[in-house]
Amino acid sequence: MSNRRSPRTRTVTRAARGASRAARPAVHAAAVVDPRAHSRLVVDGLKQAPSRAMLRAVGFGDQDFDKPQVGIVSTWADLTPCNMHIEELAREAAGGADTAGGKSVTFHTITVSDGISMGTPGMRYSLVSREVIADSIEAVAGAEGFDGLVAIGGCDKNMPGCAMALARLNRPAVFVYGGTIRPGAQRRDIISVFEAVGARAAGRIDDQQLLEVERTAIPGPGSCGGMYTANTMASAIEALGLSLPGSSAQDAVGAAKREDCRRAGAAVMALLREGIRPRDILTRRAFENAITVVIALGGSTNAVLHLLAIARAARVRLALDDFTRVGRRVPVLADLKPSGAYLMSELVAIGGIQPLMRRLLSAGLLHGDCLTVTGRTLAQNLEDVEDYPQDQRIIRPMSEPIKRDSHLVVLYGNVAPEGAVAKITGQEGVSFTGRARVFEGEEAATAAILADRVRPGEVVVIRHEGPRGGPGMREMLSPTSAITGRGLGGRVALITDGRFSGGSHGFVVGHIAPEAAVGGPIVLLRNGDRITIDAVRRRIDVDLSAAELRRRHQAWKPRRPFAEHGLLAKYARMVSSASEGAVTDL
């Protein structure tokens, strides 16, 4: 075989004219960029003939060995509507990379469905899957020598898992959101079904009505339709600069999403030529932008967990208190489900999140100098964005917010010395005091709520659901939906060392740390203890003396682990506190 070509290199300057040094610290003027820095090690030279032979069998021709290789990460699976269409989108992204001069190679990672496993033991694998997704993408890209990546995610854990892997690998990359689902009959979505279960238990609807909701809520492909975790994280990743403008606010089915994928493939080739990598984009200021957009949209509490984890992968210092610091000056502007009235598809119809970001930028709430995957700054991307139609009601003006500061409230106190995260929109009030009703796990709590054994004024305590104790930190959508369905919304509070679905609403506090499994104070609570949640003072406390808490702790004995072998056991041994993002690579 003839000798391979010598390395092709080029000299680049800053791709984003006017980008600040803080926005792009790792790429310097006159830096030498080799777009094939990784694939060259796999396919160039005499000794790599076996590698080339293997790749010829999967479709490589002679000319392909001289092209940058772009890995297309597909999270396709037909086990959930969130991901059932992503294989088609992966083909579009591959075509975009090939047309722009690259050689695409598609590979897959896993997905699990939160909506299907919710309320069952299988939900323990949900947050665990985020780590598996990140690890698997890192493993494949690292082994195969891809020069760049396009990752396409649809369900809740796909997105942060993909972003974590892109940050770890630090190779030119673009994330693409699979898109939101269209509404079902009567504007229903998956949360409509969960709440209908509670309504049926309360006798407010009959079996036939429940069946009708079940049959009509999910009409086809796409992620859950409100500002739940999937749409929240898609918006956050776009605000970080890892997605092309508009990617987070598109229907799953349609020409716009297919074009977004083609453009993403081409964009990775441009990033390769310019030498722009994820950690050039994922700066601390970019994470502040993401927090700002999540708050303005009224997004999921899971964004706290996932942004902490992505920041860890990007080697950026981010802590719970940063959400408080940013949140003091950012209003909630979007009237979106679950706390509001509108669906994501309705926001898409009026322009998505780009006009909102432009408003936030104009108000001085976003860092416009942050670099993005377009090679331009955030401010430059927003220059030509038009405002929303005047008659729309989904996004409030800055002067008339739904809430003047963040709905994501970080609480401390003798129940949560390392912090907890509440979702307080103001509709629930800003404080709650009640007597504890303690449950060891989600199933017991849900059964009691559906059986009408939880009374107004009580604080439902669900423990042993943390990252280690669950393990896997299950989402408490079933009990919170049962509370709403039974008409107890706003009349009871719920606290847990687990977490919440983006579809949960009401007076709820999750991520309580330290968790019960490691002896955190939540494990010491008893029925009848008086608990106060104060969102103004940012406190969650039980009316017990320090001496009494010490006495109870001395009598406490750890529970036997839920899993003693396999993936869940391995995760439980490795996982960090929720206050650190519940990651496994500290």
Instruction: Cite the DSSP H helix spans in 475-531.
Output: 477-485
> How far is residue 166's CA from residue 153's CA, in Å, rounded to a whole number?
13
> How far is residue 68's CA from residue 56's CA, in Å, rounded to a whole number?
16
For residue 6, report the phi and psi dihedrals to the nearest 5 degrees.
Answer: -70, 155
Token pair for 238: 């776009």
Q: How many CB atoms lie within 10 A of CB 5?
A: 11
Is 511 in a helix, a strand, or coil? strand
Let me know the angle formed at the C-alpha of 329 by 326 and 330, rounded to the nearest 5 degrees. Answer: 80
Identify whether the C-beta of residue 263 lies closer than 8 Å to the C-beta of residue 244.
yes
> How far is residue 22's CA from residue 397's CA, in Å, rounded to a whole number?
30
Q: Catalytic: 501?
A: yes
Length of the chain: 586
Element (DSSP H or E) covering residue 229: helix 229-240
Identify whether the C-beta of residue 501 lies closer than 8 Å to the C-beta of residue 510.
no
List of E strands, 97-199: 103-108, 148-153, 173-177
Annotated catalytic residue, options 126, 136, 223, 501 = 501
Identify whether the C-beta of residue 326 lies closer than 8 Å to the C-beta of residue 410.
no
Token pair for 235: 């918006």
Active site residues: 501
